[in-house]
Structure 1
C-alpha cells in the first residue's frame, strides 16, 4: 500500500479524562490459526516482522484491543512471544488468545494445539509515528477513521472541523475498529484528539479527507511509566545512587516540586507536576500543593483534596525515589 505523508501541526498533552489502563496479568489458553490478513480489526496485512493474534470476544471489547501489543507466555515453559492484536476470536473464552501459527511456534510445538498461557499489555516498540486512515467510502456525509501504529491501545478518537472553534465531539467505535459519524464530519480539514488507555492524548490538526492512503500524524504517545518498562528499583543503581529507604513512611522533607500547565480553558486546566528528591538518600515521597478549583482526575499518583490543598503520594511504580531522582504526576481540575 502506498503511503502519503502530510505536514501536520501536532501537540501532545495529558488527557483530562478517566484512564482505563490494564496492567494486570491475564490467564487463559493459547491456540493457533492460519492468519491470512483481513482480520476483524480492519488492518492491512502486516509485514513478516510482526506476529499477530486474535483476542477473545470479552477482552476484544468492541475492538478496544485492536492494535494492542501483548506479551504471551507459555506457563509450562516460560517461553514468551510478543504479538499484535489484529483479529477477534468470538468462540474463545475470556483470557484466551488465538495466535497466528508462527507466533504459536515460538513458544510451543504446533502439535500441542492448546497450551496454558498468561499475557499482559506492553508498549508497541515497533511503532514509529501514529497513522490515521479513512475507510473507503468515507465522505463529508458519512465518515469513518481509524488509528494505526499506536504505542498503546486506543480508547477514544474525537474530532472537530478545523478552524470551527467547536469543542471536540466523540466518535462511535465500531467492532471493526473504525470510529464513525453516521452523518459525516462535514467539509474538512479536521482536527483529531486521540486518547490511549493510559489517559494520554495527542492532538492532530488540519487533517484532509484523503482516501486509500495512510496519513502520518508526525507524533506518537510517549512511553508511560506504568507499562512495566521502567527499570529495577532494587539494590544500588549503576550510577551509584542510593536505593529508596526501607522505611516506607511517605516524606515531604527536601522534596522539590515544579508545576507546568499543559492546557487551560475557561472552566478548567491540566498540569504536569515534577517531584524531585533532593535528599542524599532514597525516600517514599509525599507532596502538597495549593491549587485553584477541584481536581476531578489525577494520574500516576494517589490523592486527596481538602479545600485548596491537594495531597499526593506516588503510585506503586513511582512512589520510591533514589537520591536526586525525579518523577511526574498530572491532574486536571475544574476552576
Structure 2
C-alpha cells in the first residue's frame, strides 16, 4: 500500500498520547513554530519540480501540504518545523498535496525518517511555520519577457511568504501576478534586459535585485538575501540547480517598508 494514502480509522490510546506529546514538544522548540497545528504525516517522493517549481532540496527535507494551507501558492518556499514521535525536523514547502485536509502533510522520506519509523506509514505530528529561517541569497529564474511571451519569474531562498514581486520599468515598478504554480507573471510584451526585480515578504523585508538575465533555463544565484543583515552589491550568476540554494551564510538586504499584506496570524 502506498504510504501516501494510508489513513487512521480508529486511533489507539498510544496514538492519542503521542499526538499530545507532539503538541507539547513543538511549543518548546525555540518558539520558531508559531500556531503549531496537530495532525498527521505520511511520506512521498516529489516530482522533478513539485507544484512550487522549486525542485527538491538536496537534504531531502521537504513537504507537500493541503490546499487550504498551500494558499494558492503563497506557502511555496516557506519552512515548517515538524515534530513527530522521535523529534523535530525542518522542511521546505515545495509541493501541493491535493488530497490532504488541514493538518495532514506529506513529508519527504528522509524528513519522515528523522521523526518517525518508516514502517508506520503515517505518524502523529504537530507543525508550524518558521519566521526568518536561515537561508542563502535569493535565487531567481526568469522566462519569457519577449514580444511573444510574458515575463515569468520563480523566486527561491526567500524563506518567508512573499507579498509582492515587482518589475522595474521605465515608468516605475509594476507588480507581477502570483499563480498557484508559484510563478510570478508580468504584463505581456518585451522586457528589456538586464531585469531588475523588487521582492518583498509579508514581514516587511524587501530586496532590490538588479542585473538578472533573460533566457536562462535554471535559477540565477544572486548575492542579495531578503533579510538578515547588510547585503553586498548583487551580481547574479547562473546556478547549476536550485537545490544548492542554502550554501553559505545568510546575509540580507535592509528591510523595506511594510507591505499591505499582513503576516500570518499569531497564536
Q: 1:31 aligns with which of 36, 42, 55?
A: 42
Q: How many angstroms does 1:105 deviate by? A: 1.1
Q: How many angstroms does 1:94 deviate by? A: 1.3
In the TM superposition, 1:184-333 aligns within 5 A as 184=189, 186-223=191-228
Change (3 A) 1:184 1:107: farther
Which consecutive unaligned segments of at least 5 residues does structure 1 have?
Answer: 1-21, 225-260, 264-269, 272-295, 301-315, 317-335
What does residue 61 of structure 1 align with?
Answer: 71
**Rg bigger for which structure?**
1
CA RMSD of superposed structures (Å): 3.0
| Aligned equivalents of 2:44, 2:64: Cα separation in 1 | 9
Is the 1:194–1:201 contact (alpha carbons within 8 Å) kept by the matching residues of 2?
yes
Could you say what secondary structure the match of 2:199 adopts? Answer: strand
What does residue 107 of structure 1 align with?
Answer: 115
In the TM superposition, 1:80-99 aligns within 5 A as 80-99=88-107
Q: How many angstroms does 1:214 deviate by? A: 2.2
Which consecutive unaligned segments of at least 5 residues does structure 2 have?
Answer: 1-32, 230-253
Q: 2:80 aligns with which of 64, 67, 70?
A: 70
TM-score (norm 2): 0.67
How many corresponding residue pairs?
205
Q: How many angstroms does 1:215 deviate by? A: 2.0
Q: How many angstroms does 1:174 deviate by? A: 1.0
Is the 2:80–2:127 contact (alpha carbons within 8 Å) kept by the matching residues of 1?
yes
Deviations 1:30-66 (A, max 9, x none): 111133432101123432x241110111111111111
Is the 1:152–1:221 contact (alpha carbons within 8 Å) kept by the matching residues of 2?
no
Deviations 1:89-118 (A, max 9, x none): 011001221101121111111222222211
What does residue 9 of structure 1 align with?
Answer: none
What does residue 133 of structure 2 align with?
Answer: 124
What does residue 185 of structure 2 align with?
Answer: 180
Q: How many angstroms does 1:78 deviate by? A: 5.8
| Aligned equivalents of 2:202, 2:87: Cα separation in 1 | 27
Is the 1:39–1:86 contact (alpha carbons within 8 Å) kept by the matching residues of 2?
yes
Change (3 A) 1:118 1:128: same
* Structure number having the greater helix percentage: 2
